[in-house]
Every structure is written in C-alpha cells, then in structure tokens.
Structure 1
Amino acid sequence: MSEAMKTVGEVLVDLLEANEVEVVFGIPGVHTVELYRGLSASKIRHVTPRHEQGAGFMADGYARVSGKPGVALVITGPGLTNTITAMAQARQDSIPMLVISGVNRRSSLGHGRGLLHELPDQQGMIKTLALYSHTLLNPTDLASVVDRAFAILGSGRPGPVHIEIPTDVMSAPIPTPVLRKAGATRPRADAETLQKAAILCGDASRPVIICGGGAITAEAEIRELAERIGAPVVTTVNARGMLAGHPLRVPASPSLDAVRALVSDADLVIALGTEMGQTDYDMYANGGFPILGNLIRTDIDAAQLARGPHAALSILSGAKTATAGILAFLTANSPNRGKERAAAARKAVLAELTPKIRTEIGIIDAIYKALPECTIVGDSTQAIYAGNLYCDAPRAKSWFNSATGFGALGYAPPASVGAAVADPDRPVICLVGDGGIQFSLAEIGSARDVGAKVIFLVWNNDGYQEIENFMVEADITPEGVKPSAPDFLLAAGAYGVPAMRLEKIDGLAAALVEAAGRDGPSLIEIHQTRTSGATV
C-alpha cells in the first residue's frame, strides 16, 4: 500500500480529527476493531463505558458541555440497539450526536443468514430515529458521507446522526482525501421579518421572553433585548442558568400557574429556541398553558414552527442571529415594570410549591452555594423534578437532565462522565435516584478509569417513589415500585471510589467540598427520610 493509501478505518479517524473531534466513547468489538486501527496514533481520546447505552449518554453529556457533537463508536447489532435509548434522548432534547456503528459484510445484508449480531434491517431501524443514516457501501464515499453528517449536525436542529460501515469496507484501502472541516449553514431571517419583530417589541408594554435550550448561545443578545424592552425572561429546563442573578430572570417552569399567569398577562411573548413541548409547558398534562394572542416565535426548524402553537410572527433562524437582528431594528427603549413583574413571578412561584419541593430546591441551592462552579447533571428523580420546576442555576449549561423530552432513567451517571471529560476542571454533580443509578451503576467504574471529577449524589427514597405516589393518587395499589438496592457505599468501594452517607443535610456542603478536592470520583448518599433535613 502506497503512502497515499489508508484503510477506511484509518481515514475515518483522520476525518474525525479534521472535524475537531477530541473524544470518542465506545466499546470495541470484532465488528469495529478495524475502525480502531488509526485511533492510537491520533489525538483523539477514547473513553470506554460499561454499556453502549452509556456510550451514547456520555456523548450526550459531552455535547451539552462542550458545544461540539458527541461521538459514540459501537458494534453492529446489540451495540447499536443498546445505544438507541441515548439517541432518542438526544433527538428529543436536540443534542448533536454522531453514532458510528459496524454492520455485517455487504454481501450478507438483507439475506438473514444468521451472522453474528445480524439484524433484519439495521439502517431501516435507525432511520426512524436519526436525522440522517447512511450505510457506507462504497469505500471511496467515506469523506463525503462524514462531511454530510457533520454538516447536518451543525446546520439545522441538532440530534443524532448515524453512519454504519460494513466489516469488509472497514479494512478497504482508499486514497487519502483532502481533510477539511465540514461546512455548516444555518437559516437566517430576512430583514423585513426582523423589522416587524422589532416594531412589535417596541410597541409592547408587558412583554415576556421565553428561552429554551436553543437560546443558550444567544445569552448576551437576549439580555440586551430583555433590558431594552423590560421583559421578564422565563427559562425552561435546558436554558436554566441564563441571565443568572439578573433581576429580569424567572428560572421557573411554564407548567406552573404563576408563570402561566405572567405569560397570560403579557401583551407580547417572544419564544426563542424552544420546542414548546409538553415536558416543559404542560408537565402535569392539565392543558392549562394559555393560548397566546401575540406570539413571536423563533426556531431553527421550519417543521417545528409549523407544529404550533400558532404565532403572530414566525422567524426561521437561530436564536442568536434572530435576536441580534431584532436589536438592530429596535429604535428605542420601552421602559416598563419588567423587573417588578419578574420579581413578583419568582415570589409567586415559590409560594405555589409545596414545602417538600421547596426543601428539595433548597438542597439544590446548597449544592451550588458549596460548589459555585459545579455542573449538576440529573436523572429522573424527585429532587430533579423539583429543580425543573424552579432552579436558580448560576450559569447556562450548569443544569441539565433527562427528566424532560424522552425521560430516560440511568442517564445521569454516564452523562456526568461525558460532562466531566468535556470540562475536567469543573466538578460535576450526578444527582440520581436509587432506582435510576441501578440502570447504570457500573459507570462509576468508567468515572474512575478516566479520573472524572464526578460526585455521585444518590437521592435514596427506597424505590420509585414518584411512581408510587402517582399510583396512590390514582387509587391504584402500588406494585413494582420497591426494587431492592445495594449498599451504595460498598458498591462505590468495590470500584475504589470514596463514599459516605449523610446523617444530616446540613453536612452536605462540607461533604461536597471534600469530594471536589479529590482528583477522581466520589459518592455521597442522601436518604430522603433517614438523612435529617432532606425532606419535610
């Protein structure tokens, strides 16, 4: 083989490097070893989870913190099917993820000959979920396929993208292509539309801004717009931490009556980078979110704008570009009582919540007070549900979880590892229930392997307490909600990870500071009833 020729696997690594990939998460197998041929000589770091679902969730957590696509490398068959849950979470939360899988040799595809890890139609299965899925039948198409994958990841609404490579293609020699980063083209609104939006903003006397996860890159522009028109800024779960400490912030769920009242009273609502989906806007499924008579809605996805709710003005654009464009046409400030309205909404939200939920929010506040630079990565557990209702996070990207969108259990432990890999100097708090952590308990070992500064904060309520409560409220005899749990301190110790169980919640701050001082992971258990002060 001449110097100008490399295998598909080796060129794939080169193309990933050209697209600024620094980390891949995966478990090697006989169906992917040829994709690893060039990896050790590259600058790309490989992180090994304990399960392919963990690879996908690690890629998700990495993407949310780094702002770059997370990359998972998995085998055909069970490797890919294990990754599907993570891909679905990424699809629902608009997280950029590239999944590269193997598939059996080209001559076997569609024949059902009983090969190892064979599926009837692997790509057909993934196409229902991924934004784009391609089977690399022609080895020389590799560069254009990778280019298209990264262009999709960087251009429209993010989500999972999939490339599968047959085992006989992986080792095929191909000429080394030109290595360059894929281009990305985002939609940009026309000047006439932006000018209309600016006029509506200037005429409003009681405006409100609602921000979703797609707005976090536009924080500076949104702050300026909010200040100029006096608009309270409501942040959904994936936008929490935006405008931290600002008097116009309302870090509360649109599912709450107090936030709905604020929005209902507005004469203009500006929705930026939010799908306006049920898990943020109607988590109690009571249909109480108000019909908005004067809505400006900005989204990067035309299909999402068409799904509703109906907007008086729809803007097909990223939030940053749209907000900057509106500001350029905004001729004057519109002073009003925006700060007072925001303060009243924050006060009303807290008054609306139960004492138990306020206690859990207080614990989250205590975490941020003890470790102001930390990132809290959450699972579907009661303390996270409380924070999703109200959490005054200290910065954008410092609060995210799987309790919105797809709602997967077991997300937080591997996603926390991915977050820590993306930003190794910042402690990561993995806030997870005793039920959820058992979906991915072994990822404690992955955290130890990579020296991730993850503090596994286990919220133990002896089972699936949220579901048990729901069954009781529905007059259903609870069944299946009390799975046994291991001794989490012993489980952590088995991986060589320091662990402790809190007796009193007022000892949490000291425990967190001590754990954050270590180089690798730690585990702290809070028991909802046995840890004094954890609940009311």
Structure 2
Amino acid sequence: MSDLSRKDALSGGEALVRALAAHGVTDAFGIPGTHNLEVYRHLQAYGIRHVTARHEQGAGYAADGYARASGRPGVAITTTGPALLNIAAAVGQAYSDSVPLLVVSPGMPLRHPRQSTGLLHEMRSQTEALRGVAAFSHRVSSVDEIGAAVARAFTLFRTGRPRPAHIEVPLDLLEAVEPAGPPRIAPPAGPALPDPAAVEAAAAALRSARRPALVLGGGARAAGRECRALAQLLGAPVVTTANGKGIVDERHPLSLGVSLHSPAVQKWLADRDVVLAVGTELAESDVWGPLPALTGALLRVDVDPAQMYAGLPADTALVGDARAVLAALLETLRPDEAGEPVDTAAEVTGLRATRDDETRGRDARWLPYLRAMRRVLAEDAVVTSDSAQCCYYGALPHLPLGPEARYLHPTGFGTLGYALPAAIGAKTAYPGRQVVALSGDGGLQFSVQELATAAQLGLPLPVVVFDNCGYGEIREEMAARGDRPTAVDLPSVDLAALARAYGGRGGTVRSPDELADALTRGLATPGPTVVTVPEESSR
C-alpha cells in the first residue's frame, strides 16, 4: 500500500485516493471514464477494491446498500456530466434515508469558461445539480484542498445526521502534481449528549405514563439494546418505521413491527398518554397518509435538532445520539421508580391481528411465500427491498426480522431499482452473510443490468421477483380513481433467461415450497439466481 503520510507533491487523483484510504475506505463502486482515469490509477496501490457497476445509478445504490449494511460510509466514483446525473437519484435516496454516501467526480477544468465551449460532458454546473440532492456539493480549487474536502465529508458522516456528500475535482487538477501536505483526518466524534434537564423531564413523563408507546426509526439502529430494555421496563409496545425494521425483534411480545400505516395502529397510537419517538421523522412516508393526531405527550429523540419541530412537534426534545439519550433515560428512570406497567402482550397480539385483518385481501397473496423465505433465512440475513407491492405491503409488515438482520428499503424518496444493486453493496460488505434481494418485475428492470455485476463478483445472491406484468401499484391506483389503466401493463419478460444471459441462473416457482428450495440453492450457488414468482401463483 502507498504511504498515507507522504508530504511530497501528489497528483490530484492520488491525493483524492490517499484521503479516502486515510479514512478507512476499502471498497468503492463506480465506472471509469475518460475524465477520471487518474483516480482509478491509484486505487489498487492504496488498497481500495473497486466494484464496477453497469450504470452509475446502480453504483450509487450499491454504495448506499454497503453503507446501510456495514455502518461505514459508501463511496461511489463517477465521471463527468451524464454519469454524475445518473447517480443523482441514488444520492436523493441516500439523503431521504440519512445514509452516509460520498460521491466523487471530476469536473470541468479549473479555469473553464462559464460560456459553453462544447467540451466532452460539459454542463452548466455539476455542483449545483448535486447540491439539490446532497447535504453538500463542493468543488475544490487546489490539490491541497482535496484532503480537507474529504475530511469535511467524513466529519459530516460522524457528527449529526449522516447524509450524502459530493466532491468535485476539476479534471486538470486530477492530473496536476502539486504539494498536498499531510492527509487531513476527520476528528473522532463522541456521541452527542442530551440536555440533563430534558432527560429528567422525559423520565418524569415516562414514570407517570399508563399507556406508553415507542416509535423507532432508522436513527435508533445503534440503540437496539437500549430500546428493548426501555420497552420491557415500561411494558411499552414498539412500532417501527421501514428503516427501523427489526431494531427490536419483530417476534418479541411487545413488537408491532412495521405497522405505522395501519389505521388500527394509528388509532391506538393516538390514544397513548406518552409516545417516545426515537430517530424518526414521523413523516407522511412512514404512515402512508396524514400524521395521526396524538392526544398524549410526544417525546422525541433525534441527533438533528430540526426534527424537534418538524411534522409533529416535540413536547420534550431530547437532542443527541439515540444510544446516549436512551442510556441516560434508563439510568434516570430506575426500575424501582418506573410506573406499574400493565401486561400489554395480549393487547399487542390483538393489534397485530386487527392490522392483518385490515389488509388480508390485499396482502394474503404474499404471506405463504414470505413464511417460506423466513424458514430459509439466517438470523443475520440482509434483505434488500424495492419500491414494490411485494415489499411495502408484503415483506415490511409480514417478514419478521430480528436485530441481527437488516432490511434495506428505499423509504421517502421511493426510488425503483434499488434492491438488486443495494444487495450487491451489502454482499460486498459482508460476503459471508446471506443477502437476498426482493423486487417486482417493474422495479427490477430499472437496474437489471447489475445482474452482470453480481455475476462478475461470483458471490451467492438470490433475487426473488414477484411478477405482476407491469406497474401493479399504479395500475390499482388508476382503477381506484375510475380511470382506464394506461401504460402500466407490460409484456412478461423471461427473467430467468435474462439472468442466464448475464452469467447467472434463474427459474420460475409456483409454490412456497418451491421458493424455499430455490432460495436454498441460490444461497449456495455463486453468482445471481433470479427466482420469479408469477402473480397468479402468489394469489
């Protein structure tokens, strides 16, 4: 590996790669192009493995999946112009779901005129284009500044709410050799601690609560043990957002799983005298409609102060790292001082049944197949998800997972084509863990070319596809409006044959047992295995 402490002159490309390696980056996703070759020249020397996607959007989703699965920032490398715009959707998704994603790209030369000159991949402003979807988009003006820009990105990832960043290096600076100085390193950051007075106020509210509830979002991921301890101490049922799925084992007697979209659960939540919401926006995309009107006190825990008055404003604001806040609450709210929790297990069981009854006619088609998947999946499996009916109506509420597992879903921004490349990213991070992608036929075809990436990696990766011959959700929305379905019915594609063409395997199953068998084989077979479930078989 090249010396990370070198202080002599470096090319901009080497300075960039050195800065990434100095921050512990070992994997990157992207596609080489004419303008970024100086970056690619140095990756191997600095110990950074590169995964070549087949589309920049796929590279972005793979880096996103890598970050969500591993907890480490995902890095994507693009070239100029159309390549950078191709990855913009992935950056927007990462922003929506608070994912630490770093995109690095070349840009027009340092002194390139504002007026168009017809240079290859020229566009008016790459930084402005990415600024609309990233937390920051920064164009450096010297080789020495590159290290500081990378350190700034990693500081953002380590402090406050993690969100994506973009760094642009003018293409002439990538090739220029200039003094770079020692690497700048983002300082280690301890957990953001809450205001002790706010902790005391929240503890007092919980101490007196008779009908408490916990709502957990993705920001509570690192505080799973504390969430479970607090729920058990209070006897408080737990409901999660999509990004909070599995933080508390969904088979736990107090868990309602991903149920914020259920009218019965929303009515129940509105009746709680104290609601503790941890690491969640409590947004429309979490409840699939207007936010419920809470009648009790709302305690909000979030590292982002702006969340305290967004959506449902907090009655008590606990600004800080979720794990630190909940640990302080548990210490303050000693077991002998907690209220008398009632036995809520029966209440939770009844709510689960009511939730399932609300949508039995819609969701029943997927349940036997999801139970078959659950039989095969290990406790630490990673399931990636698309913005597809089988995922948000099916797996989110009905595929129970525990805290060792991960379920990666494109919430908020709601992009299509996420599942397959995100699974590649997760499998890159954890080649020894089971990773399964779950998608619909419409969503898969947004990024189906990444089957070639999965085949090249040679890692076992089953892709389960429920095929309803088109865009099923939009078809049903049109019908519900009384409209004639238009542009939503698509000819069925032989996805198994397509998988084989890309170097993988594939087949069609027509029963849950066949799915379990195919999934078992796919998890033991190098490369991607596409398993198609025709819609008529899942009804």
Measured against the shorter chain, the TM-score band is: over 0.9
Letter in 2 for 1:298: V
Distance in 2 (CA, whole Å) between partners of 1:527 and 1:305 is 45
Pick one of 39, 44, 58 that aligns with 1:40: 44
Aligned twin of 1:398: 406
Q: What does the per-residue CA deviation read over 1:102-160, in whole Å, with 9 as the maximum and x for residues that have no partner? A: 10111115232121111111112211221111101122111211111110112111111
Q: Secondary structure at the match of 1:210?
A: strand
Q: Secondary structure at the match of 2:154?
A: helix
Q: TM-score, normalised by structure 1?
A: 0.95
Residue 385 and residue 250 in structure 1: after superposition, are their counterparts in 2 closer, same or farther (change >3 A)? same
Aligned twin of 2:370: 364
Residue 355 of structure 1, CA deviation: 3.2
Aligned twin of 2:121: 117
Listed as ranges, the matches of 1:268-417 within 5 Å are: 268-281=274-287, 283=288, 285=289, 287=290, 289-331=292-334, 332-334=337-339, 335-372=341-378, 373-386=380-393, 387-395=395-403, 397-402=405-410, 404-417=411-424
Q: Secondary structure at the match of 1:98?
A: strand
Q: Secondary structure at the match of 1:445?
A: helix
Contact 1:91 1:160 in 2 (8 A): yes
Distance in 2 (CA, whole Å) between partners of 1:192 and 1:42 is 47
Listed as ranges, the matches of 1:445-484 within 5 Å are: 445-484=452-491
Contact 1:428 1:454 in 2 (8 A): yes
Distance in 2 (CA, whole Å) between partners of 1:308 and 1:340 is 31
Letter in 2 for 1:205: R
Letter in 2 for 1:40: Q
Contact 1:31 1:104 in 2 (8 A): no
Aligned twin of 2:148: 144
Contact 2:28 2:75 in 1 (8 A): yes
Q: Structure 2: which 5+ runs fail to align? A: 1-5
Aligned twin of 1:108: 112
Pick one of 195, 208, 215 that aligns with 2:220: 215
Pick one of 225, 249, 264 that aligns with 1:258: 264
Residue 485 of structure 1, CA deviation: 4.0
Residue 468 of structure 1, CA deviation: 0.7
Residue 279 of structure 1, CA deviation: 1.3
Q: What does the per-residue CA deviation read over 1:157-209, in whole Å, with 9 as the maximum and x for residues that have no partner? A: 11110100001111222335334641254532111111111111111111000
Aligned twin of 1:224: 229
Q: Secondary structure at the match of 2:28?
A: strand
Residue 333 of structure 1, CA deviation: 3.3
Pick one of 7, 15, 30 that aligns with 1:26: 30
Contact 2:374 2:400 in 1 (8 A): no
Letter in 2 for 1:42: Y
Distance in 2 (CA, whole Å) between partners of 1:466 and 1:370 is 28
Aligned twin of 1:173: 177
Distance in 1 (CA, whole Å) between partners of 2:460 and 2:305 is 40
Letter in 1 for 2:202: A
Distance in 2 (CA, whole Å) between partners of 1:423 and 1:350 is 34
Aligned twin of 2:427: 420
Letter in 1 for 2:102: L
Residue 296 and residue 51 in structure 1: after superposition, are their counterparts in 2 closer, same or farther (change >3 A)? same
Distance in 2 (CA, whole Å) between partners of 1:110 and 1:23 is 35
Distance in 2 (CA, whole Å) between partners of 1:308 and 1:483 is 38
Residue 28 and residue 267 in structure 1: after superposition, are their counterparts in 2 closer, same or farther (change >3 A)? same
Distance in 2 (CA, whole Å) between partners of 1:55 and 1:330 is 45
Q: What does the per-residue CA deviation read over 1:349-399, in whole Å, with 9 as the maximum and x for residues that have no partner? A: 122222340341342232121122432111121211222344422335522
Distance in 2 (CA, whole Å) between partners of 1:342 and 1:396 is 23
Letter in 2 for 1:228: L
Q: TM-score, normalised by structure 2?
A: 0.94
Pick one of 192, 199, 209 that aligns with 2:197: 192
Letter in 2 for 1:11: A
Letter in 2 for 1:165: V
Is residue 164 of structure 1 aligned with residue 168 of structure 2?
yes
Q: What does the per-residue CA deviation read over 1:276-319, in whole Å, with 9 as the maximum and x for residues that have no partner? A: 111111x1x3x362334310011111122221312210111121
Distance in 2 (CA, whole Å) between partners of 1:438 and 1:380 is 12
Contact 1:427 1:455 in 2 (8 A): no
Listed as ranges, the matches of 1:30-109 within 5 Å are: 30-109=34-113
Distance in 1 (CA, whole Å) between partners of 2:71 and 2:113 is 36
Distance in 2 (CA, whole Å) between partners of 1:92 and 1:448 is 30
Residue 109 and residue 16 in structure 1: after superposition, are their counterparts in 2 closer, same or farther (change >3 A)? farther
Distance in 2 (CA, whole Å) between partners of 1:52 and 1:157 is 25
Task: Give the aligned length.
Answer: 527
Distance in 1 (CA, whole Å) between partners of 2:412 and 2:187 is 29
RMSD of aligned Cα (Å): 1.7
Residue 3 and residue 181 in structure 1: after superposition, are their counterparts in 2 closer, same or farther (change >3 A)? closer
Q: Secondary structure at the match of 1:107?
A: coil
Contact 2:427 2:435 in 1 (8 A): yes
Distance in 1 (CA, whole Å) between partners of 2:21 and 2:399 is 37
Residue 422 of structure 1, CA deviation: 1.0
Q: Structure 1: which 5+ runs fail to align? A: none
Aligned twin of 2:533: 526
